[in-house]
Amino acid sequence: MSSKKVLKELNQAVKFLQKQNKHTPQVGVVLGSGLSNFTGEIEIEKEIAYEKIPHFPISTVEGHKSKMIFGKLGGKRVVAMAGRFHFYEGYDIRDVIFPIRVMKLLGIETLLLSNAAGSVNPEYKVGDLMIINDHIGLFTPNPLIGKNVDELGPRFPDMSEPYKQKLIQKAKDIALANNYAVREGVYVAVTGPTFETRAEYKALLTLGADVVGMSTVQEAIVANHMGLDVFAMSVVTDIGIREDHSIITHEEVLEAARHAEPRLATIFKELIAAI
Ligand code: HPA
């Protein structure tokens, strides 16, 4: 697709949303599987179903509510995505990241990402929260492949600080003040939809990953491309290598995410207030 066409589609989505909501959001939030209840924290001004937004794909995964929410939280204007798009659903990788670009063009300067992830690090437990301090994205298609849209960012973006240290530090302070234990580590993205084999979890551990998931990295890449400050957090919803050889189910992932959600919501809310 030409840069002109990409920008035209983005502008159509942005114009549509600006007609529905006059305020400029400062912070964007993406809510992962089982984490959509966070929207209850927002003083909602406008909700818009994805299917109404020009050029938006439609989310198909259970546990996602599939709407964009505009409102106030922690004294800031926010736009939240309840439900995201995953490559495994069959979308083109550029459709997966389309909403992130839309949020940037709506005016956000900071992006908060959340996800459900499987543990690779043997010390991690179900329900743990992990601040992502770096990622490995080598197993999923890079969303910036193709002609660079120079209006959005550079051809070869630096990725030495994909998750902003200042936001990580603030989140750690918030967790400490609330008496929450949080981990900090590396998220590796895979395409899914299969969970990993035992050999794959082991391989990912030797590569330096702490958790594994099927989202987030592509969104963080395009956000960095556009110069957004990014913060991301995983909820550990399942243990990769299980000594009892039990299986992993999507229901279990959703349940664990729901259980951890109040802690994640507090950290996000206080972080937004502190930005
Ligand atoms: N692997 C990949 N993606 C996931 C997992 C997992 O174990 N848990 C939640 N998302």
Q: How far is the CA of 10 from the centre of ligand 1 (A)?
A: 30
Q: Name the band, by pLDDT with cuts 50, 70 and 90, for residue 32.
A: confident
Q: How far is the CA of 102 from the centre of ligand 1 (A)?
A: 27
- CATH number of the structural domain spanning residue 77: 3.40.50.1580
Q: Which residue has its alpha carbon closest to ligand 1 atom 7? A: 118
Question: Looking at the 3D structure of the chain, how many domains does it have?
Answer: 1
pLDDT score recorded for residue 59: 58
% pLDDT > 70, the chain: 97
Do 31 and 235 form a contact (C-beta atoms < 8 A)?
no
Give the span between the Cα atoms of 216 and 227, in whole angstroms.
16
Q: In the block, which residue shows the tokens 């590396």?
A: 186
pLDDT score recorded for residue 62: 54
Give the span between the Cα atoms of 264 and 32, in whole angstroms.
11
Inform me whether the pLDDT recorded for 38 exceeds 60. yes
Give the span between the Cα atoms of 153 and 199, in whole angstroms.
38
Alpha-carbon distances of 121 from 125, 244, 258, rounded to whole Å = 9, 17, 21
Q: How far is the CA of 2 from the centre of ligand 1 (A)?
A: 34
More confident residue, 271 or 243: 271
Give the span between the Cα atoms of 145 and 90, in whole angstroms.
17
Do 78 and 272 form a contact (C-beta atoms < 8 A)?
yes
Q: Name the band, by pLDDT with cuts 50, 70 and 90, for residue 137.
A: very high
Ligand 1 pocket, residue 210 CB under 6 Å:
no
Give the span between the Cα atoms of 30 and 18, in whole angstroms.
19
Do 184 and 233 form a contact (C-beta atoms < 8 A)?
no
pTM: 0.94
Tell me the mean pLDDT in the region 98-102. 98
Residue ranges with strand state E in the chain: 27-31, 43-49, 67-73, 76-82, 110-119, 129-136, 182-189, 211-213, 229-239
Q: Name the band, by pLDDT with cuts 50, 70 and 90, for residue 63.
A: very low
Q: CB atoms < 10 A from the CB of 220, how many? A: 27
What is the domain extent for residue 222?
3-274
